[in-house]
Structures are given as structure tokens and as C-alpha cells.
Chain A
């Protein structure tokens, strides 16, 4: 269970304070994947970072009873001077997992060939996304926070991610941020809309997209 109670987050800008999350109270139940729609700059990535604990809210509480991943995004979190393998070793250690098992599992999932042993600097953005995904799949999370990452890999890899998630639907769920309705629909039944600092969950992707289009979600 992921619960947000009266979460506020504001960023100071030259033009004055920008309220990104304004008194957000929401509960994400276990084993239920949820998509999040929102315009650019609406605060979707901020929301994921706050759920993961990487960023702290200005006020309010985030309580987690499930094991939540780091926000899987555009390859953030990799040290580019280290190889894919070394990055995997580090992540395995900080999550207290078996290093050998995580490395082997990430290597097999990411399918990077010899690049797995070369510095991440030499990777394309698609390859970094593969590594991030393979690595996160190797660590057993209850909830995966996914930030548009599926848009990066090629068709085959996207399909592979979907299958991997489907296979573990019993024990894991995703909270996925995307602009693409079809991506959200393929992972989730329910969907939320983030706009003007408010988050509202709808029972179907259809309702959410209608509210999103109407711009009346707040």
C-alpha cells in the first residue's frame, strides 16, 4: 500500500512559486497498476520521485508498506564511467540482494551483449533504458514506478517489458506516467489525472482520458 496524506510540493521559480502538488491525498492499493496522465510540467515525475522517497514533500506524509522501486526513467541513476555490470553490482548491494543473481538476471533481460561489460557512457539511450529495466526486474519490487521509460526501447523490447510485467502481475504492480494512452491501457485498468496540483483517480482509462481532454480534472 502506498498512501499520500496532504502532500504539498512547491518549486521556487523566477516567476514566483509553482505549486506542483497541492494537498494530494491518495492511496494506491497493492497489486493494482495505475496510469498517470498529465501535461508537461504538471508534476508527474515529481509525484513519482516523492512516492519513491528520492524527494521529500514540503509537507505531508508518504507511507509505504510495499517495496517500491526507484523511479525508472531516462537512465538516471547510472554512473556513466562504470560498466553496466558494475552499476548492477552497486544496486544489488544497496538493496541487499545477491550480487551474482542480480547481475545474471539483469544481463539476460537487458540483452546488451558485450556492451554489458563496457562503460555506460558508450550506451545509446535505448540501451540505457534496457539496462534500467533489466536491473529493476532483477530486484523484486512490489511496485515499479515507471516514468515514460517504455517509450524509449524499440518495439520488441517494449513487448518484452509488457510480458515481464504480465508474468508477475500476481505480486507486482506498476505506477506508470505516460503521454500515450495505448501504453497506459496495456498496463493498467485504472488511471489518474494530475493537473493544477490535484490528483484524481478514475476507475477506467476511458474516463480519465475524457477528463484529461476536458481539462476539468481539478
Chain B
């Protein structure tokens, strides 16, 4: 089989998987796929409400909605990719019964769907916010925003892939994922900007690549903000390391994945 033919079949399979995933994402719930959009909207809405009610200060006089949405949605783009992809194989074992469906296709399909969904939510929230709220700033540098979102998505996909493959070796991985991911929610800059913490703490916090992605999106959106350490190459190196490990592991375990 030629490479082009193989690539065509793989695209065909991933396309079918994505369409299928929109039906199974929330089981037989009535609203179905709409939940994938509503859920992050509710996250942003909840924090926005809390900030407004408590009159919580926002760094650099940023608009509250814009500040929270850039943080929460960028983080969600990363985290949803991780959580959905790490369960891609376990949740779809019957599909491996078809010869052309390979385990890695299940990973790519979920990555494509989660990334597209959360990017759409980001555009909806920021677009609607800017349209209805005069005080909300328009995007300053759209390329930097896109770079930040892309980094969050790639990082989430790579980590999800690695966890997914490790998960085929031991179900301990799935048990530990939740508790290990939880701290990231608090240290990834959803509720602070990195220039507000002392220099020593900055260096430690900036070891976390998710924080870089969030900072990039904020820097791109607000003309008033310049991040003291956000770096695209740093996230890229991190992503490449995870991706390499994940793909190598995939080659090792692909024959061992049992059909159920």
C-alpha cells in the first residue's frame, strides 16, 4: 500500500471518528454535543459572576471577562485535550475491531474535536464580549493569541497521548491523572498574571508550560500587558519531548492492546 493511500484511509477514519464522537461525547444526553460548548461557557460565567459580586480586583485594570476568559478557556483547551485523549483507547475499544482503525487514530480524532470545540468557544466568548461590552478591549495581536492557543492544544494533545499509551500498560495512570492535574488549575495563571509574583517565584512558576500558553494569549489580547517570561520555544520543546515519548510508546504497545 502506498503512503498516499495509507494517509487517505487514515484521514477517512479520523473523519468518521470525529463525526461519531460528536454523538457519543455526552452519551445519550438530550443536549448531546451542545454540552461540549455549554460546559466551558458555564466555567467562564461562574468565575465572572464571582469576580463581579465580590468586586475582585483584576491585574493591570484588564476587563474582568476578557481576563478570565483568556485564562479559563486557554487552560480548558489544554486540560480537555489531556483528559479526553488519555481515555481515547479505553473508551473506544470496540472500534479497534475494524482493521483500518488504529489506536493512534482514536487519539487524533479526539484531539481534533476538542481543539476545534474549545477554539470555537473562545471565538464565541471573546467575540460576543467585544460586541456587547464597550469596555472590553479588541484583540491586540491576533497572531500571538493564536500561537498561545495552539501551544495549549499541542501541549494537551502530547500529554494526553503519552498518558493514553501509559494507560494501556497500567490503569494506575488513569487513577493518578486527576489528582496530579488538579494543582495545574491553580498555578497556570487563570487568576493571576505572572508579573504580579516575586521574581524568584516567577522562575519556578514559569517551569509550567501551561502558564506560558495562558500568558501568550493574554499578551496577544491586551495591549497593556507584556509577559515577563512567556516563550513559544519553551512550550514547543516541552511538547516535542512529550510527543516523542508518546509516539515511541505507541510503537511499543500497539500490538499489545487487547480487543475487548
Contacts and interface: CB of A to CB of B under 8 A. Distances in A.
A78 to B, nearest CB: 6
Q: Chain B at the A interface: mostly helix, strand, loop or mixed?
A: helix
A70 B15 contact: no
Contacts of A77: 94-95, 97-98
B252 to A, nearest CB: 13
Nearest to A53: B99
B95 A70 contact: no
Contact of B98 (A55, A70, A82): A70
A94 B98 contact: yes
A68 B96 CA distance: 16
A27 interface: no
A54 B94 CA distance: 11
A76 B95 contact: no
B255 A86 contact: no
B12 A93 contact: yes
Contacts of A53: 99-100
A91 interface: yes
Contacts of A49: 259
A86 B101 CA distance: 17
B98 A81 contact: no
Contacts of A90: 16-17, 19-20, 95
Contact of A54 (B13, B16, B97): B97
B125 to A, nearest CB: 30
A33 interface: no
A54 B259 contact: yes
Contacts of B28: 81, 119
B210 to A, nearest CB: 32
B228 interface: no
Interface in A48-86: 49, 52-56, 68, 70-71, 76-82, 86
A78 B98 CA distance: 10
A91 B140 CA distance: 45
Nearest to B97: A77
B23 interface: yes
Interface in B1-54: 9, 12-13, 15-17, 19-20, 23-24, 27-28
Residue in A80, A82, A90, A119 with the greatest tally of chain B CB atoms within 10 Å: A90
Given A54-B259, A56-B255, A93-B15, A86 B97 contact: no
Contacts of B97: 54, 70-71, 76-77
B235 to A, nearest CB: 34
- List the 10 closest A-B pairs by CB distance, nearest first: A93-B16, A77-B97, A53-B99, A76-B97, A94-B16, A90-B20, A54-B99, A94-B13, A70-B98, A52-B99
14 contacts: A54-B97, A54-B99, A54-B259, A55-B259, A68-B99, A82-B20, A86-B23, A90-B19, A90-B95, A91-B98, A93-B15, A93-B16, A94-B16, A96-B12
Given A77-B95, A79-B20, 6 more contacts: A55-B259, A70-B99, A79-B94, A82-B24, A89-B20, A93-B15
Interface of B: 9, 12-13, 15-17, 19-20, 23-24, 27-28, 92, 94-101, 255, 259
